[in-house]
Amino acid sequence: MKNFSNPASRQTLHTCLSLSLRHRRPLRRAGKSLTRYCYYLFLLPALLGSCQREPVPDGPADDTPPVPAVDSVLTTVRLDAGGRDVHTLDLFLYARDGIRALEHHVHLDHLPDELCIRTPPGEKLLAAVANSPHGFNLKALERYDAMEQLRFSFADDDPGAPILGGSGATQELTGTVSLQPLLCRVVLARVSNTMDGYDLLENPRVRLRDLPDGAEILRQKDFRPTELVDAGPWTALPYDIGYFPQEPNVTLWCYPNDTPEDILGVPRPTLEFACEIRGKACSFDIPLPPLARGAAVEVGLTVDGPDDYSVSEMKVTAP
């Protein structure tokens, strides 16, 4: 056991305590510095995180490619004129929905069997006109409602190249339009003279009266003309008619009027046959039946005297 009562021993103990204290002070400073360092080290991520966006959690990967926007499609239109001559063709394509606006117009100088046209997407309403004597005001026809009201005048039509029209609609971007004439054909097929004494029907001629003045090119039924042409021109038969019946097959033309016979309305066309019998002017009126668009009617007439006649034939052929 050491004896610290000795002065030398007390000096030695003081020296050891002094050295011990010198070594302990730096350790306390180091501990405080270490504590501050750890504090700032933990505080730094929090400060940095307050200036950054929250991380977006990863969702399931979507490998489906985006569907490209379709701004046009190919619309196919088939056209049929029934073998009739077509010198010009105007095709109109309208949107089927909404205000049914005009989307495309094609003008051709022939009739193709089929047309493939790039149009906006969607099904279409189709309208076609062939052999039009006039051009078209596209501004006035910018909606299908206006196209349905498009009328042609009988005076502008030509039996040699009749105005044709038709409408249709596409299904799965394909549609067909059948072009049909408005003109109706009236044929005086046969005239018989049954008078005694070999009297002749001299200077025979024929015409139509009460002709419809016009009609809508896309209409298919319910033709009710609002204006009439009083009479068409006379067409002469080639010979006077005597004992033997004559089959002149003279053809006259008119626009349709399909008003039923039991409904009062605008008069239907009348076939008028005129001639002279023993120097007296005679006229025989034959009212025609309801005529649908493009219909044909054959008429046979028998004359028994100046004021006596009958219809021997009335045959209507649908278009």
pLDDT at residue 23, rounded to an integer: 40
Q: State the pLDDT at residue 263.
A: 82
pLDDT higher than threshold 80 for residue 136:
yes
State the Cα–Cα distance between residues 242 and 245, nearest whole angstrom.
Answer: 7
Q: What per-residue confidence (pLDDT) applies to 60?
A: 52
Q: What is the pTM of this model?
A: 0.76
SS3 string, the chain, reads CCCCCCHHHHHHHHHHHHHHHHHHHHHHHHHHHHHHHHHHHHHHHHHHHCCCCCCCCCCCCCCCCCCCCCCCEEEEEEEECCCCCCCCEEEEEEECCCCCEEEEEEEECCCCCEEEEEECCCCEEEEEEECCCCCCCCCCCCEHHHHHCCEEEHHHCCCCCCCEEEEEECECCEEEEECEECCEEEEEEEEEECCHHHCCEEEEEEEEEEEECEEECCCCCCCCCCCEEEECCCEECCCCECCCCECCCEEEEECCECCCCCCCCCCCCEEEEEEEECCEEEEEEEECCCECCCCEEEEEEEEEECCEEEEEEEEEECC
Residue 266: the pLDDT is 84
Tell me if domain 73-181 and domain 184-317 are identical in fold: yes
* pLDDT (0 to 100) of residue 113: 92
Domain 73-181 CATH assignment equals 3.40.190.10: no
pLDDT in tens, 262-314: 887 789 999 999 999 999 999 999 999 999 999 999 999 999 999 999 999 99
Per residue in 74-113, pLDDT tens? 999 999 999 999 999 999 999 999 999 999 999 999 999 9
Residue 73 in this model has a pLDDT that exceeds 60: yes
29-50 pLDDT, tens digit each: 444 443 444 344 343 443 344 4
Q: Across residues 149-170, what is the average pLDDT? A: 97
Q: CATH assignment of 184-317, given 2.60.40, 2.60.120, 1.10.3470, 2.40.160? A: 2.60.40
- The 10s digit of each residue's pLDDT in 173-225 is 999 999 999 999 999 999 999 998 789 999 999 999 999 999 999 999 999 99
* Sequence spans of domains, the chain: 73-181, 184-317
238-269: per-residue pLDDT in tens?
A: 999 998 999 999 999 999 999 998 887 789 99
Distance CA 124, CA 106 (A): 14
